Amino acid sequence: MAGADSDDSLYPIAVLIDELRNEDVQLRLNSIKKLSTIALALGVERTRTELLPFLTDTIYDEDEVLLALAEQLGNFTMLVGGPEYVHCLLPPLESLATVEETVVRDKAVESLRKISHEHSPVDLEVHFEPLVKRLASGDWFTSRTSACGLFSVCYPRVSSTVKAEIRQHFRTLCSDDTPMVRRAAASKLGEFAKVLELEYVKSDIISLFTALASDEQDSVRLLAVEAGVSIATLLPQEDLEALVMPTLRQAAEDKSWRVRYMVADKFSDLQKAVGPEITKNDLVPAFQNLLKDCEAEVRAAAANKVKEFCENLPEDSRETIIMTHILPCVKELVSDTNQHVKSALASVIMGLSTILGKDNTIEHLLPLFLAQLKDECPEVRLNIISNLDCVNEVIGIRQLSQSLLPAIVELAEDAKWRVRLAIIEYMPLLAGQLGVEFFDEKLNSLCMAWLVDHVYAIREAATGNLMKLVEKFGAEWAQNTIVPKVLGMANDPNYLHRMTTLFCINALSEVCGQEITTKHMLPVVFKMSNDQVANVRFNVAKSLQKIGPVLDSNCLQTEVKPVLEKLASDQDMDVKYFAQEAISVLSLA
């Protein structure tokens, strides 16, 4: 193969290994990251016989180096001679899979999983599966944890005797003495169940699931929840009640809030996995309890799922369930004591209106929206405003506009600039939905006020906002409403505001078109080229470069060029630089 014919004497392995042993960690790390280059230089044969044994035996190193090594080896198949030799990569990866540092181990497992697919079924049984067994019966917990992630990749492609052994090993790890291993097993239980034959899912997996879900440590129990969801998708409907539901019900009422949080967090998946009947009978009351949980963390997680849960309810009874069971809980959450709960709810509550339709929305949801729009926490208000589009489709935004306005105004003037920034981002959306008249009357002045905000990020966002508004409302609107105000700022005593004029022109020239740009904006830009502040002058040069493409060539030659030439001989070196740059970009030289 390629590489074998390269001049070996040029790259004796000793030199390369010296690089891998360099005293400086950074250099070692660089060398390891180029391990594939080293392997290429050595050729496949020597990579197998010299490089890999070296890596397996002598590397005791910083975790960072080991991590890079573990990653490299996952892509090494061709460098050792293709799939028939891929098993040569197993020894170094095996020792990396026993390292203490979690990231290294995880990466080694990831690489092992990757190359497992490149093993032929025979190699898998001869080389790969014994490695998994060795790891599974290792002394120290690290190797057993790593083993948990490898069962599912080899199980489907080995003989039935070996399959039985694998199942036995997995079972042993599920009742391991150390919680670390039980956690690893619990987190891989769902994945393992998916590759098992249905009979073994029923006979083996269920009992493991039940045991892990009642582990003495909540960190293990909570991982079993996710496995339960995966298992439920595998089983036929008629077995669910007997095999998984008792355990899941118990999890939803676990005494540890972490477990209940997990149930809330996985609720939509769970709902899909168990189907409509169990949802109606079991999940609805469970969901109500989670929405009323005593820990805010759990309530917030459940509140996040309200919309998805309602959407996925069986259609025949959806509305009744929402109106009689879910909505009362939602109403309580609107005035929850915890702001995270309220803002989680606010981010999804608007979605209910499409499900419930116009009349119910007006009667039941609207009061809640309005209450949240007045919430003391800005995040809650923002979340409502950011989702206005859902309501707009159902009842039209007019219903809300009276309450919307004070909320917007308050957020627009919030003391935290991050809040102001967030509301600016929703302005184009709001403008589109409220219509041009409402906007001109109520919101236009806000948008202009942001242009003179004392925080640069806000002024910058406000500029971008103007551009989006013009895209929505058209050039004519721009000429009448915003261009005069923007240009007016060119005479402001504060040079930062004068520069904002230039930034606005940069943003607006293209959407406003040639006529407005030439007729109204350009003269102002020219005038500013005489500004006493150098920053303004070089921004004039930058602006001219930016709006040049919008202008016609005559104008460029006769008007723009002289101005730029004058700036190019400015006494300030930055002004000169940008003027020259503009001249060359616009090809005016």
Partner 1 sequence: MSAISACEKVDGFTRKSVRKAQRQRVGQGSSQFAVNSSRPSAPEISALPQLKDASSTEQHELFVQKLQQCCVMFDFYDTVTDLKSKETKRAALGELVDHVSTNRGVLLEPVYPEITTMVSTNIFRTLPPSDNPDFDPEEDEPTLEASWPHMQLVYEFFLRFLENPDFQPSTAKRYIDQKFVLQLLQLFDSEDPREREFLKTILHRIYGKFLGLRACVRKQINNIFLRYIYETEHFNGVAELLEILGSIINGFALPLKAEHKQFLTKILIPLHTAKGLALFHAQLAYCVVQFIEKDPALTEVVVRGLLKFWPKTCSQKEVMFLGEIEEILDVIEPTQFKKIQEPLFKQISKCVASAHFQVAERALYFWNNEYILSLIEENNAEILPIMFGNLYRISKEHWNQTIVALVYNVLKTLMEMNSKLFDELTASYKDDRQREKKKEQEREELWRKLDELRLQERTAIQNNRHEIQFTYNNNKKNRQDKDENTAAAAVTDRAESDTWAK
Instruction: Tell which positions 48-67 bind partner 1, by CB under 8 A.
Output: 62
Residues in 334-353 that interact with partner 1 by CB under 8 A: 337-340, 343-344
Query: DSSP alpha helices (H): ranges in 305-416?
Result: 306-311, 315-321, 327-334, 339-346, 352-360, 366-373, 378-386, 388-395, 398-412
33 touches partner 1 by CB under 8 A: no
Of 50, 379, 440, 574, the residue at the interface with partner 1 (CB under 8 A) is: 379
CA 532, distance to chain mean position in Å, is 47
Of 37, 324, 491, 553, the residue at the interface with partner 1 (CB under 8 A) is: 37
Identity of the residue, 4 or 449, whose beta carbon is nearer to partner 1 in the bound complex: 4
CA 295, distance to chain mean position in Å, is 26
Identity of the residue, 337 or 532, whose beta carbon is nearer to partner 1 in the bound complex: 337
Identity of the residue, 97 or 356, whose beta carbon is nearer to partner 1 in the bound complex: 97
Which letter, b or e, does each residue of 474-493 get, where b requires 16 or more Cβ atoms within 10 Å of its Cβ? ebebbbebbbebbbebbeee
Identity of the residue, 23 or 315, whose beta carbon is nearer to partner 1 in the bound complex: 23
Which letter, b or e, does each residue of 288-314 get, where b requires 16 or more Cβ atoms within 10 Å of its Cβ? ebbbebeebbbbbbbbbbbbebbebbe
Identity of the residue, 72 or 529, whose beta carbon is nearer to partner 1 in the bound complex: 72
What's the Cα-to-Cα distance from 384 to each of 377, 379, 390, rounded to whole Å?
Answer: 12, 9, 10
Question: Please, which residues have CB within 8 angstroms of residue 182's CB and are 6 or more apart in sequence?
Answer: 173, 174, 175, 176, 212, 215, 217, 220
What whole-number distance in Å separates Cα of residue 325 and Cα of residue 393? 25
102 touches partner 1 by CB under 8 A: yes
Number of H helices, E strands in the chain: 44, 0
Residues in 266-295 that interact with partner 1 by CB under 8 A: 292-295
383 touches partner 1 by CB under 8 A: yes
Q: How far is the CB of 25 from partner 1 (least distance, A)?
A: 8
Binding-residue total with partner 1 (CB under 8 A): 76
369 touches partner 1 by CB under 8 A: no
Identity of the residue, 3 or 464, whose beta carbon is nearer to partner 1 in the bound complex: 3
CA triple 217-113-143, angle to 5 deg: 45
Of 197, 253, 441, 476, the residue at the interface with partner 1 (CB under 8 A) is: 253
Is-contact 234 193, C-beta < 8 A? yes
Applying CB under 8 A, the span of 36-44, 431-439, 524-532, 542-550 interacting with partner 1 comes to 36-44
| Torsion from C-alpha of 467, 472, 475, 481, nearest 10 degrees | -80
Of 59, 180, 211, 409, the residue at the interface with partner 1 (CB under 8 A) is: 180
Identity of the residue, 42 or 564, whose beta carbon is nearer to partner 1 in the bound complex: 42
Q: How far is the CB of 504 from partner 1 (least distance, A)?
A: 22
216 touches partner 1 by CB under 8 A: yes
Q: How far is the CB of 559 from partner 1 (least distance, A)?
A: 41
Site string for partner 1, 79-98 (x = CB under 8 A): x--xxx--------------
Q: How far is the CB of 413 from partner 1 (least distance, A)?
A: 14
Of 8, 12, 117, 484, the residue at the interface with partner 1 (CB under 8 A) is: 117
Which letter, b or e, does each residue of 386-420 get, where b requires 16 or more Cβ atoms within 10 Å of its Cβ? bbbebbbebbebebbbebbbebbeebbebeeeebb
Is-contact 525 540, C-beta < 8 A? yes
Of 28, 87, 144, 157, the residue at the interface with partner 1 (CB under 8 A) is: 157
477 touches partner 1 by CB under 8 A: no
Residues in 6-25 that interact with partner 1 by CB under 8 A: 6, 10-11, 15, 19, 23
Nearest Cα residue to 322 out of 268, 286, 292, 360: 360
Site string for partner 1, 522-561 (x = CB under 8 A): ----------------------------------------
What whole-number distance in Å separates Cα of residue 511 and Cα of residue 524? 18
Of 35, 41, 352, 550, the residue at the interface with partner 1 (CB under 8 A) is: 41
296 touches partner 1 by CB under 8 A: yes
Compute the Cα dihedral for 235, 239, 245, 247 and give only its sign: negative
Identity of the residue, 189 or 525, whose beta carbon is nearer to partner 1 in the bound complex: 189
Question: Please, which residues have CB within 8 angstroms of residue 94's CB and are 6 or more apart in sequence?
Answer: 131, 134, 135
Residues in 415-434 that interact with partner 1 by CB under 8 A: 416, 418-419, 421-422
Query: DSSP alpha helices (H): ranges in 121-256?
Result: 121-123, 129-136, 141-148, 151-154, 160-174, 179-195, 198-200, 206-213, 218-234, 237-243, 245-252
Applying CB under 8 A, the span of 251-259, 305-313, 435-443, 555-563 interacting with partner 1 comes to 251-259
Q: How far is the CB of 1 from partner 1 (least distance, A)?
A: 7
The token duo for 361 is 């929305």
Q: How far is the CB of 352 from partner 1 (least distance, A)?
A: 19
212 touches partner 1 by CB under 8 A: no
Of 54, 56, 75, 374, the residue at the interface with partner 1 (CB under 8 A) is: 75
What whole-number distance in Å separates Cα of residue 462 and Cα of residue 446? 10
What whole-number distance in Å separates Cα of residue 105 and Cα of residue 148? 12
Q: How far is the CB of 285 from partner 1 (least distance, A)?
A: 12
382 touches partner 1 by CB under 8 A: yes
Applying CB under 8 A, the span of 90-98, 199-207, 378-386, 509-517 interacting with partner 1 comes to 378-386
Identity of the residue, 175 or 584, whose beta carbon is nearer to partner 1 in the bound complex: 175
Q: How far is the CB of 449 from partner 1 (least distance, A)?
A: 19
